[in-house]
Amino acid sequence: MQQPKADFFILDTAPLLGYNELKKKILKTMHGNVLSGCVISERGSDAMKDNIALYAFRLYGDTVLRAAYAACGSYQEAEDITQDVFLSLHAKPQEFNDDEHLRAWLLRVTINKCRNLRKSFRVSRTQPLDDIPEQAAPGDDIRSRELRAQIAALPQKYSEVIFLYYYEGYNLREIAEMTGRSENTVSSLLQRGRKKLKMEIEREDAYETQRLQKSS
């Protein structure tokens, strides 16, 4: 698989703080009140056969949440979509060849649900920075949160390919298959999305520099 290029991206992969509460909610719904059932990743392939939804959530819950947020631009909507993805899989289990097949399926379903949401009614893609959950990682800073907000604020056609390419490491062919687009279209969207994001970052940096100069 093609490796994502760091470039001006801050590739933060630590779980979002809000994810912990979401995890409890989803696990409680799927597994009753017996949350000890969430330690299924240690059971390997048997866990996938026993309860594919629990297995999938244990491995890729945070990945799906991040993908939903990147595509929707709203953390609340991302939480709703994440619940819907895993609870749907819980209600109608499917079979997968391996973990990579499972991850690709989850991301494809997540993106489609985000698209359907945007078609159903008009949703604002802007969200106050303070409303975005902070990272659990001690070394995280405001720049990581700003970058997540800037990516999420892009039109969905750009934000979803940026997320899949830079954060999940999929190559152009794989993204094309997951999003139903041609490789050329994906490549073009990635280039235009990067350009838009870079311009926004530079604009905000210039504004911050001017503000600091005026206050000094």
Reported as a single tens digit per residue, the pLDDT across 148-183 is 778 888 888 999 999 899 888 899 999 999 999 999
Site of tokens 């991850």: 103
Contact 65, 113 (CB under 8 A): no
Q: What is the pLDDT of residue 133?
A: 46
For the chain, which residues make up each domain, given as ranges?
Answer: 17-215
Helix 75-91 to helix 52-72 angle (10° resolution) is 150
Chain-centroid distance of CA 146 in Å reads 15
Alpha carbons 152 and 74: distance in angstroms, whole number: 8
CA–CA gap between residue 132 and residue 198 (Å, rounded): 21
CATH number for domain 17-215, candidates 3.40.920.10, 1.10.490.10, 1.20.140.160, 3.30.460.10:
1.20.140.160
Structure tokens at 11: 């590739």
Residue 135 bridge partners (DSSP): 16
Per-residue pLDDT of 112-153, as tens digits, reads 998 888 776 554 444 444 444 443 333 345 666 778 778 888
